[in-house]
């Protein structure tokens, strides 16, 4: 059974802390994505990666960075957490190539920044 | 900016009724996908329709795509209480050298027994 695993379902952090959100997929997918989800705004793309060590900015990259050192792992980093980064964060993956297809999502990480 | 916009934002129906959700988008797409999300969980893929297709079925789901109007609809027939969830459309488009999947804000569906 295919799986995208996010390391933490719930996190509570303080303003200014550095936060790491980890995502691992076991499907050998080339493409990985980080979205944040807020009520009324749907899912917004933060960063994505099409290959190891490769990253591209999505629609809302400010305040975030990412790391993809291995194919199966895509990490989202909040260098200095702020209260407006309180949100649900969703990681997803899919196979690469020109025949794009469905995304497989993790269960989400709900982050609260105090 | 969001590519897809669903309407209605919320829909409340009785079991056995049909539920129709609509999605509009602004730019050319490769395909359009519908996802379902149960409260507090990740999204699950329901159906994908390519830009050269007009209609697709999967079980009780029927999706249509009108590229001239840049719109799609998702119909759930004979709804069940277990269909209660949020439904999102996502457009797969080429831009900046990559394919990206952009989501709308979703429709919250409540199916009452």
| Confidence band for B28, pLDDT divided at 50, 70 and 90 | confident
pLDDT of residue B4: 64
B29 vs A86, more confident: A86
Q: Using CA atoms, how far apart are residues B78 and B88, in angstroms rounded to an integer?
A: 20
Residues facing residue A13 across a β-bridge: A113
| Residues ≥6 apart with Cβ < 8 Å to B87 | B6, B21, B34, B35, B36, B37, B46, B74, B106, B107, B109
User: Which residue in the set A56, A105, A110 is minimally distant from B43, CB to CB?
Assistant: A105
Q: A41: nearest CA in chain B?
A: B105
Closest residue by Cα to residue B61 from B29, B24, B87: B87
Residue A48 pLDDT exceeds 90: yes
Give the mutation candidate from B103, B104, B108 for the A interface (greatest A CB count, under 10 A): B103
pLDDT of residue A86: 98
Would you state the structure tokens that stand for residue B19, as one six-digit string? 């539920």
pLDDT of residue A98: 61
Residue B2 pLDDT exceeds 80: no
Residue B9 pLDDT exceeds 60: yes
Give the mutation candidate from B28, B43, B52, B97 for the A interface (greatest A CB count, under 10 A): B43
Would you state the structure tokens that stand for residue A44, as one six-digit string? 């917004």
| Residue B43 contacts A where some CB pair is shorter than 8 Å | yes
Cβ of A102 and B40 within 8 Å?
A: no
Cβ of B48 and A102 within 8 Å?
A: yes
B85, B6 Cβ separation under 8 angstroms: no
- Give how far A41 is from chain B: nearest CA, Å: 5
pLDDT of residue B100: 82
pLDDT in tens, B44-85: 999 999 999 999 999 999 999 999 999 999 999 999 999 999
Q: Using CA atoms, how far apart are residues A103 and A93, in angstroms rounded to an integer?
A: 6
% residues pLDDT > 90 (chain B): 73
Residue A83 pLDDT exceeds 70: yes
Cβ of A42 and B101 within 8 Å?
A: no
In this structure, are strands A87-94 and A65-70 parallel, antiparallel, or unpaired? unpaired
Mean pLDDT of B94-107: 82
SS3 category, A39: coil
Q: Which of A14-28, A73-87, B7-21, B94-108 has the lowest mean pLDDT?
A: B94-108
pLDDT of residue B45: 96
A106, A9 Cβ separation under 8 angstroms: no
Residues facing residue B73 across a β-bridge: B22, B64
Residue with tokens 């400010």: A62
């Amino acid at each position: 059974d295919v799986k995208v695993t996010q390391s933490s379902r719930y996190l509570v952090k303080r303003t200014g802390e550095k936060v790491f959100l980890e995502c691992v997929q076991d499907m050998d997918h080339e493409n990985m994505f980080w979205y944040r989800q807020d009520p009324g705004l749907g899912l917004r793309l933060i960063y994505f990666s099409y290959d190891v060590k490769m990253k591209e900015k999505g629609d809302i990259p400010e305040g975030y960075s990412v790391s993809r050192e291995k194919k199966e792992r895509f990490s989202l980093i909040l260098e200095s957490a702020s209260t407006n980064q309180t949100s649900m964060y969703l990681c997803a993956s899919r196979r690469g190539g020109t025949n794009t297809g469905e995304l497989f999502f993790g269960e989400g990480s709900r982050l609260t920044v105090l | 900016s969001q590519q897809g916009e669903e309407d209605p934002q919320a829909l409340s129906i009785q079991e056995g009724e049909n539920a129709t959700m609509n999605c509009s988008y602004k730019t050319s797409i490769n395909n359009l996908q519908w996802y379902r999300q149960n409260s507090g969980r990740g999204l699950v893929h329901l159906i994908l329709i390519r830009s050269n297709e007009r209609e697709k079925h999967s079980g009780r789901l029927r999706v249509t795509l009108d590229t001239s109007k840049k719109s799609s609809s998702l119909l759930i027939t004979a709804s069940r209480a277990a269909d209660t969830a949020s439904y999102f459309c996502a457009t797969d488009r080429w831009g900046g050298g990559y394919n990206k999947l952009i989501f709308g804000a979703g429709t919250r569906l409540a199916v009452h027994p």
